[in-house]
Amino acid sequence: MVDMNAMIAKTTFFAQRPGEERFPITVSIGTPYRCGTDPEEWACPVALDPLYPRLRDQHGGSALQSLCLAIRLAGYLLLGFEEDGGVLTFEGGERVPLDAYFTPAPARSSE
């Protein structure tokens, strides 16, 4: 699980697989930190508890890149949950619009 002291973002959705009970999923993103001996190597913790409570920290060449990679991983895993037939909702039962949280990268100009 992400170190609670270093956590910078957290939200809880509710998940339900076909034929199973609804359960909470807490998405946690930690603070990027320098790692290794390379001054340009950063890592960012991410967890989707209880589905993926111990994901590998996401590594990048800057704090921003490692943070973006952690957020993108969380989005891909939640999308995969839905593609496998699961449903993600808020506490009140409304469907979670994943594209409002995890948008794809902007299209590049062909110029």
Per-residue pLDDT at 104 exceeds 90: no
For residue 70, count CB atoms less than 10 angstroms from its CB and return exposed for 0-12, middle for 13-18, buried for 19 or more: buried
Per-residue pLDDT at 110 exceeds 80: no
Phi, psi of 28 (to 5 degrees): -125, 135
| Strand ranges inside 1-111, DSSP E | 7-16, 23-30, 33-34, 42-44, 46-49, 58-60, 87-89
pLDDT given at position 37 = 81
Using one digit for the tens of pLDDT, what is the confidence trace for 23-71? 999 999 999 999 988 778 999 999 999 999 889 999 999 999 999 999 9
Dist. CA 41–CA 102, nearest whole Å? 24
Per-residue pLDDT at 12 exceeds 50: yes
